[in-house]
Every structure is written in structure tokens, then in C-alpha cells.
Chain A
Amino acid sequence: MRTALKIAWREARASAAKFLFVVIAVAVGVASLTGVRGFSRAFETMLLREARTLMAADLSVRVFALPSPQQTAAMDQLATGGVRRTWITETVTMLSASAAANPVLVSVKAVDPRVYPFYGAVKLDPPGPLAARLTAETVAVSEDLLPRLNLRIGDSVRIGGQSFRIAGTVLGEPDRMAGSLNVGPRVMMSREGLARADLLIAGSRASERFLFRIPPTTNIETVRANLKKTFPEALIADFRQTHPIIEAGLERATTFLSLVSLIALIVGALGVATAIQAHLQQKMDSIAVMKCLGARSSQIVRIYLLQTLALGLAGGLLGIICGVAVQRAFPILIAHYFSVTPKFSIDLLSAGQGLAIGLLSTLLFTLPPLLSIRRIRPGLIFRREMTEQRAGRWVRLRQARAAMVATLLILVGIGGIAGWLSASLRMGVYFVLALVVSLVALAGVAWLLLRGLKSFSKGAGRALRPSMRHGIANLYRPGNHAQAALVALGIGVMFTLTIYLVQRGMLTEMMLSAPPGMPNVFLLDITPRNRAAVEDLLSRQMGIEGSPEIIGSVAARIASIDGGPLEKRNLVGYSRRFRGTTSVTTAASLPPHTSVIEGKFWTDAQPSALMQVSVSEEAAKTLNLHPGAKIDWSTPARQFSSVVASIHRTEAIRLSARIEFLFTPGALDGLPVIYYGSVRVKPPLVGAMQRAIYQRFPTVTIVNVADVMQIIQEVVDQISLVIRFISAFAILAGAIILASSVAGTRFRRIREVVILKTLGATRNRVAEIFSIEFLILGVVAGLMGSLLATAFTALLLRRLFDAQFHVDWVPNLLSIAATAFVANVAGWLASFRILGQKPLEILRQE
């Protein structure tokens, strides 16, 4: 082993410059992997360490309805034991600079500033304590609101028909991540302010949280159990656990980004394999000589294996160092959603994992060239023809078997790594399948394009400019791994572009699926008192198309189904919404755009003790409901029972589709009702209508679909920015492989340059030839990447998301241009010194 190590070192020492690119190629993948995982771990550590601050409390209870007097009494009982509590309400409403201006949708957070937060602090500008700033007449707003309405601190705004003075801007609030999804700018107000604005009406869609501070002498578990009994359907979390939704989200995001990083790493490893193969090809004579001098194949394999491992190790270590930068970039990328920055630290576990994976993938991909060492015959140096003989069928089969075993090992290894990163064997298998499909497709397209270019160049012959001909010919130069460089660069382009195209396609689909005739403005929280006046106002508005739809809804909770309590059901994810209150309504007949898919909808229902209900298809599926099933309901006012009459399906965009349970008329009489409206307005007149409604009914929330789309787009943009940031590493790795391939042919290039110069070519002419070569490589890689990205996007949109697909030319063309540019930069970085070679120096060495 020592001998092998010694010889490996001596050998590598002379090729240091050549291996620089290999090291960087590995480093890029490892950097993105350790960056992603390091950040994720730091984030998780921070979630745990600062859990109290992030919750602003020791324990939080999220409830779906205002507490009953019994529940409040139970909480008061806790207070006698020293447990302090505070109440947080989050809702959306409209805010305007003055009565006449266009109102803006904002997210309100009402707190008791004397108590909130129990841990951490709300950062304000100008700085100062929250309790001193927030009164019944003031609000603190997020920075983005001020420029939107041309406001300054100290100005007045109107919320719910009341005037509030802006006391400052909110720079940070500790429990932002624990709150509900924020749409629109933040407005923080006191509970007195909330009461003054009269935003809370029974049944409105506010989210309520109670925060508790528990004295150290009290057992948190007891308090938690107590609260669980009081609020059986509430979401209770305490500081000992991280926020379950955030944690699940973090885990999924980490897995996804790790796999994207793995692609970058695989691209890097492919580069290492081509570099090692080129290196071994140059070393054929040396290997033959060593075999003549008595070296066994295993000894030589060991020498080059050690070299490969050293390269992988160097790349891995460099990658860990660069991963630090990646990890640091993350808080900036996601700053918009998480105002907290995890304390930076080098995470040894993710560093070790990155290093191991870097080494392993390097090793896996260099397996085939390393194994080929065994086939180099020592007689090579005596007679070239000895090795040129066609081997027998059996020998060829044996060699093919070795290659197949190596390929299998690579696939199993990559699958294993992907499975390890995602902690799922199935994910590993899918990853390998997707990778094989992509690589085969890319290699196939690369082969076709290269071949096409060759025959084009041949066919065009002298009609082409000489530099063009030379540039194309350079692609086929022996040792120029054009196909490998194309595949490497192409896979990066393909991946990055696919993410972008799918994102665009989805957003376009969402825009398109609100076709003319569908409502584009929604009105929330209309009180029964205002209902007739709102309808009257709408009927007199200009630009309204069709008739507005206004439906009343009652907040009721499903207590049990067929006698079985809902708590006993295993509801996960979005289905858990049924544990809280559900919006229900009545309908005299089947609403428009609705069809019955099971059972029979009533035509003229007679009031009876057991009321009939029609359930939406999705709710029926989640709760496993069929006609005849019995549902017991509870509302603060009374309990009642119903029997499922039918299952219905509604066109998704209609307001009525939001309400999943339709009762026979009269079933909900006497329960507090709140109305929702939807209307189609000519887009240019939406502003005027918003103003008109806001002026008369300031507590009615007006949601313009166009604004919501804007918000969704912002969220999607943010997410895809992170993905593209990581997938760009694959492009970088591809560019490095191109550079490495160019550097690998350095000596051939030097000779050519010298010969061309001797024959009278100017420096510019030589530069032109090289540029054409790199340009073609870049354009072809970009073309391949965008062809396959478009194909994958079409497949994903049509099959997975059931959306329309249109070819998006601009991003495709931009990607091709950008790839050509990247290829040129990479190519020239690896070869600019060649241009300056003096002919005589080189010719003398010949």
C-alpha cells in the first residue's frame, strides 16, 4: 500500500494543474449538498434552541372557534396557578390611506402589547417597546405598506371604518413562522384597536391563538394535558418540540434540495470519470511499462484508485469550505418569509456526509476507467497491433460483463446515496430511474446533434468559412469529450429550465383557469345586517357581468359520523381542517354548475327532525361519506343531526364550491350566519367597485383575484428561486467539466495553434476558431437542455398537474444564449494562455 501511495503521489504531482478542474467539479456538488444540509440542520437546531422565542411562549393553543365560557373558565383556572396567557388574533381585512383611496388587503395581528411576546421582542422602527407604541388608536405596519400607499410614520390609515395612526414599522416579530400564512402587508394592533375596528364577527375567518407562559415550578405536561381536555380539537404545541408543520416542510425541502444537489454532484462525478479516463489513456504506455517491470494489475489499479480518492477527497474538502458560503446565502434567499437567521456554524455531520458522498460518487463513476486498467497489455509497447486484435467473443463478453457490473454498481450506489439523503428507499429508486432516463435522453440527443453537425460540415464543405470548419472539426478532436461535456452542461440547463417552465406553466394555468364569466372579485365577511345593502350596491355598480352570487354560511363542527366521534378518525394534512369548524349553507335546489354524482338531491324537501345534507365530492372522499350516512353537528348555539342525501361535484372556481356541505332549507335557521359574495367585474372597474364597497362597508374584505395571483406568484417565485439557486450548481459543474475537457486537450491545442501560426494564422483567427468551437458546444448543450426541459415540462404539466402546456419561447432562447455564453467563458478560462505560445518553442520540443 505504501508503494502504491508513493507512486500515486509522484504521478499526481506532475498532473496537478490538469486535476484542478476535477477537484473543482467535485467541490461544486459537495458545496451545494453540504450547504443545503448544513443550513437545514442549523435551522432545525435554531428551531429547537430558540423554540420559546419562535413561539413567543412556552405553549401555544390554536383554536378554530372563539372559546366557550366553560373553556375561558378553564383557562382562568390555570391563571390562578401562575400560568399567564395572552390572546392573539390574526385575520385579513382592508386598509386605506384615506377614505377615498384604493383599499389594500392586509393581514392583521391583534395582540396585547403589555404581555405579548412572552419571549423575544417585536423589533420596531423607530425602536421602542411595543406596549408604549400600540394603543387603541395606533398600529405598527410592515415596511412594504408605506411606499404602496405613499405613507409615512405618523400618518393615519383607516381600518374597519376607524382611523389609526401609524406608530412605527415592524421589523421583526418572534412568532412570525408560527402564525398563519401572511397575505399582504402586516398590520399589528392592540386588542382594544381590534375591538374598535369591529373586525371580529362570529363565523369570520380569523385565526385565534392563545399563548401561555408557564412558571418553572409548574409541570408543562400537566398544563398541556389540561388544555387538551379543554380544547379537544385544538392544535397544541409546546417549546420542547419544533413546530410540526415547519419541521415537516423543512424536511421535505431539505430532501428535495439535497437531491438537486446530488444531481450537481453526479455531473461533477461524470466529469471526474471523463478526466480519469483521459488521464489513463495518456498513461497507457506508462501502465504497460510498469506491467513489463513486474507490476500486477491490482497494484496499478490501486495506484490510480488512490489518485482518484485523493482527488475526491480534495474536492470534498474544498466543497465543504465552499458549502459554508452556500449555507450563508440561504438566509438571504428566504429572508422574505423567515425573518430569523440561524446562528451560523459548521455542521460536522453534514460536512462528513457531504465528504463521504463526494468520495463515493467519485469512486463509483471512475470504476469503469479504473477497471479498464486490467485490459492494458504489457506487450503494447512492443507491438501496437497486439492490442488492436479483435478479442474473441468470450473475452468481449467477459469485458462487457465487467462493464455491466460496474454500471449496476454505479446505479445501486447512486440509488443508495439518494435513498440515504431522502431517508426513503423508494425515493432512491425513483431518483435513479429519472437519472437514467435523463442521461440516456441527453446522451442520445448529444450524439444525434454531434453527428448531424458533422454531416452538415461535410456536406457544406468549402462553402463554410474556414474558421467555422475548423471550429466544428475541433469538436471531434481525439480526446475531446464533447459528448460528455454536452451531457454535463445539458443536464444542468435541463433541470434549471424545467423548474422554471413548470412554475410558469402552473401560474399561466391558474390565470387561464379563471376564464371570462367566472368571478374575479370575492367579498368576505358580509354581516346579515349589511347583506341587502351590499346586494343593492352591487346591482348599481358599473361593469358587473352576470349576476353577483351571495351565499350565507354557518360555522359548524362535525361532532361525529355514524356515531363515531371525529377525533377518533385518523385525519392527516389538509383533512385535519374538518376537526375545526366547517362552513355550511342551505340550498333550495341544486346550485348552478353543480352535478350530483351519488344519491339524489332534494327537489322539495320537507322539514323533518333529521335534516338532509349534500356533501362535496372531496369531503365525501376524505371522510368516507356515502348517501345514508349520519352526521352529528355542533355549533355554539345548538347541536343537530343530518343524513347524507347526495354527493355533488362543483366547478372549482365557483364560490359555492368553497362550501362543502349543503343543507335543506330551514335546517340552519337561528344560527349565526355570515355572507360571502362573488362577482365578475370588468378588470378596469375593479378599483372603483373596491372603493365604493370599502367606503360604505369598511369591514367587508374585498379580495381581487388578480391581487391574490400576485401574492401566489411571489410565493412561488421565492420557492423556485431557492431551487434554481441550487440547480444552478449543476450548470456550474457542467461548465467546469467543459473547461476540464478543454484543458485535457491542451497539448493537442498548443500544437494546432503553433502549426496554424506557422502557416500564417493570426492570433485573432485562432481565437475565432476556438470561440466557434465553444459557441457550438454551448448552443448545442443549451438546445439539448431546452428541448428536454420543454419535453419534461409538457409531460409534468399534462400528466401530473393536469394543466395546459404551451411552448414558452423566450426562456428557451434565453437559456440557449446563456449556455453559449457560459461555455465560452469556461472554454476560454481553460485555454487563454495557449494563444500566446511561440511557435519555435513548441516545434523544438517535437
Chain B
Amino acid sequence: MTPTQTPIIVVSSLTRTIVNGAHRVEILRGIDFTIPAGQFVAIMGPSGSGKSTLLGLLAGLDEATSGKVILDGTDITGMAEDELALVRGRKIGFVFQSYHLIPTLTAEENVLLPAELTGVKGDIAGRARELLERVGLSERRDHYPVQLSGGEQQRVALARAFMVHPPILMADEPTGNLDSANGRHILELLLDLNQREKTTLILVTHDPELAAHANRRITLRDGLILSDELQETTFGAQVVS
């Protein structure tokens, strides 16, 4: 981390415990890190290590048992559901493993949705078209998700994630459901958009090849940080095709 950069995410002593009847599962057992703006962080670890839970807590999708998450200067721990929704709408873009497009909306309508929900003014239709063009789907903007292939659906999801110029982009195994060619295409687009939009990118993956593109790699095991290392990357450069 370069010390001059201002932190956009600060996580301190974060824990998450699930109590299910007599069972008590400690998913996260005390996580601390700071992410400066513009960094590309890969969160790695085997399944069950707490990666997705951590991502969920960073986005305010779930409540921490203890500890703090500060997003762009705002402490989001203990915020009410609707306040969190506002924070997410303005600051975070999402890309999910299984796309999660709204099946009843067309590709373009799906891309427009975040802007409409957060009440962004201006030429949002133009922005949506521009993004769809950038992911190569301007011809298919009136198609419904069911009429698109998996790779195409994930490209729509990418366009949607960048719609409101979020300072942070969170991606949960974005290529996990795709074959390698499509996966590579999505990664290319993700990195390209990320560079243009100057977004902080947090990528959850267990694919080391994907993680290799990040500036920083945080590895989790059993709810704790096993390693947190900066790395020389191909970030900004072309992904080897």
C-alpha cells in the first residue's frame, strides 16, 4: 500500500458468528485491514474460509457480530437496513457468480436499475447504452436474461455494476460459472472497466490465476487472515489470451 493513498475501506476486529440452535459457528474471528482507493484486492481462500461472508459484511449485506467496517469515511456497522441500501446504491457495484439479473427485465432495463433505484439524474439511458456497447451487447439490449448465454448475462451484470460510477466494485467469483474462454473475456472487461472508471476492486475468488491480476492478495483460512501481501501484477496490462 502506498502511504499517500487515502483508505476507502477500513476493517477492524471484524467477527461474525452464526448461532443455529446449539450450533455456534465462528465464520470470521477477527479481521483487520485497510484498503486504499483504487486498489485491486483479491480475497482468496478455500471454501468455508469466510470469503463471501467477509464480502457480505463489507457491503453491509449482513450484520457483523463485532468490529467495524468504515466505507469511504462512513461507519456502516449498526446502520439501519435502508441507510445501508443508500450506501450500497451510491458507493458499491456488484458482480455475482450467478449473475443475478432480474429475469423480468430486459438487458438494458437491468443495467438502468441501479440508477433508477438511487434516483440518479441525467442521461441515464445514454450511460446504459454506452456500457452495453462497451461489453459488446448493444445489439441485444432488448433481450431478456433467459434469451442470453451465461457469458452474455455476466457482461450485462458488469455493465450494471458500473452504471452509477461506484467508487467500489465487489465481485464474488465472477467467472465461477463460466467456461474458460468466457471467463477470460469477463475478466478482461472487468479490468478494462475498472481502469477506466478508477474503481477500487475487491474480488473474491479461489482461482489463483485470477488473483494473479490483483495488486494485493488477502488469503483467509478458518475465519482469520492467513496472509496479506502486495504483488507485482499485470494490472493495467493486457491479460494473456
Contacts and interface: CB of A to CB of B under 8 A. Distances in A.
B18 A378 contact: no
B122 interface: no
Nearest to B61: A379
B85, B86, B113: residue with the most chain A Cβ atoms closer than 10 Å = B85
A297 B109 CA distance: 20
A382 B57 CA distance: 11
A598 interface: no
Nearest to B18: A389
Interface in B83-117: 85-90, 94, 96, 100-106, 109, 113-114, 116-117
Interface stretch (B48-56, B189-197, B230-238): B48-56
Interface string B54-89: 011001011000000000000000000110011111
B154 to A, nearest CB: 14
Contacts of B118: 294
Main secondary structure on A side of the interface with B? helix
B102 A286 contact: yes
Interface stretch (A6-14, A95-103, A454-462): A6-14
Contacts of B144: 14
Contacts of B172: 382
B114 A297 contact: no
Contact of B113 (A7, A377, A381, A386): A7
Contact of B85 (A7, A13, A291): A291
A10 B105 contact: yes
A381 B96 contact: yes
A297 B85 CA distance: 9
B55 A382 contact: yes
Nearest to B85: A296
A296 B79 CA distance: 13
Given A297-B81, A382-B55, A382-B172, A292 B62 contact: no
Contacts of A6: 116
Given A289-B100, A381-B96, A383-B52, A295 B61 contact: no
Contact of B86 (A13, A296, A390): A296
B160 interface: yes
A299 B94 CA distance: 19
A289 B102 contact: yes
B21 interface: yes
Interface string A297-333: 1110000000000000000000000000000000000
- Chain A interface residue number, banded: 20 to 34
B160 A293 contact: yes
B61 A382 contact: yes
A287 to B, nearest CB: 9
B89, B94, B100, B117: residue with the most chain A Cβ atoms closer than 10 Å = B117
Contact of A292 (B18, B90, B94, B105): B94
B113 A13 contact: no
Contacts of B180: none
A222 interface: no
A3 B117 contact: yes
Contacts of B119: 3
A11 B104 contact: yes
27 contacts: A7-B116, A10-B105, A10-B106, A11-B104, A13-B104, A14-B144, A286-B102, A286-B103, A289-B100, A289-B102, A290-B117, A291-B88, A292-B61, A292-B88, A292-B94, A293-B89, A293-B117, A294-B89, A294-B117, A295-B117, A297-B85, A382-B55, A383-B52, A386-B56, A386-B62, A389-B18, A389-B19
Given A293-B117, A382-B56, 16 more contacts: A10-B104, A11-B104, A290-B117, A291-B85, A292-B88, A292-B94, A293-B160, A294-B85, A294-B87, A294-B117, A294-B164, A295-B85, A295-B117, A378-B61, A383-B52, A385-B18
